């Protein structure tokens, strides 16, 4: 037989947040940092909207080993255009190449994924 009780504890947690975001191709900063203030718990606010594109590329040509072809990049609008044009050129070389594009436009950046 186990006898237990509940108690309340305060836990302090250190959370890593994204404070600077750069284009993976040209290196241009994609936003301007603004203060140390936090809105809500995980979001840092900026004066200007942050626009960027999260791009995932890869292929399924190698079967189970295709996971090694997956790449995650962050692009500005101009570099995305160049990357997409190159993707269209390469499509004939790989049977199953893919490119997933997710657009982000907000006044804050999320917690760093890791």
Residue 5 domain-assigned? no
User: Between vectors from CA 93 to CA 92 and to CA 98, what angle results, nearest 5°?
Assistant: 75
Residue 72 domain-assigned? yes
Judged against a pLDDT cut of 60, whether residue 33 lies above it is answered with no
Contact 51, 104 (CB under 8 A): yes
Judged against a pLDDT cut of 80, whether residue 111 lies above it is answered with no
Residue 16 domain-assigned? no
User: From the CB of residue 43, how many other CB atoms can be counted at a distance below 10 Å?
Assistant: 16
Residue 81 domain-assigned? yes
Query: pLDDT tens for residues 59-79?
Result: 877 778 878 889 999 999 999
Judged against a pLDDT cut of 70, whether residue 17 lies above it is answered with no
Q: Which pLDDT score, from 0 to 100, does residue 40 have?
A: 41
Distance in Å from the first CA to the final CA of the chain? 41
Q: Which pLDDT score, from 0 to 100, does residue 16 have?
A: 62
Residue 30 domain-assigned? no
Query: pLDDT tens for residues 86-98?
Result: 988 887 766 788 8
Q: Which pLDDT score, from 0 to 100, does residue 37 have?
A: 46
27/21 Cα distance (integer angstroms) = 9
Domain housing 70: 38-109
Judged against a pLDDT cut of 60, whether residue 101 lies above it is answered with yes
Q: How many domains does the chain have?
A: 1
Give mean pLDDT, residues 27-46. 55
Residue 52 domain-assigned? yes
Judged against a pLDDT cut of 50, whether residue 23 lies above it is answered with yes
């Amino acid at each position: 037989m186990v006898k237990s009780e509940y108690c309340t504890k305060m836990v302090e947690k250190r959370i890593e947040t994204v404070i600077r975001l750069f284009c993976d191709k040209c290196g241009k900063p994609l936003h301007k940092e603004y203060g140390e203030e936090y809105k809500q718990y995980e979001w840092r606010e900026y004066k200007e909207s942050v626009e960027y594109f999260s791009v995932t590329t890869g292929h399924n040509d190698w079967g189970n080993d295709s996971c090694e072809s997956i790449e995650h990049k962050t692009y500005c609008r101009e570099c995305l255009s160049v990357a997409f044009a190159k993707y269209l050129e390469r499509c004939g070389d790989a049977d199953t190449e893919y490119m997933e594009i997710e657009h982000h436009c907000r006044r804050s950046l999320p917690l760093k994924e890791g």
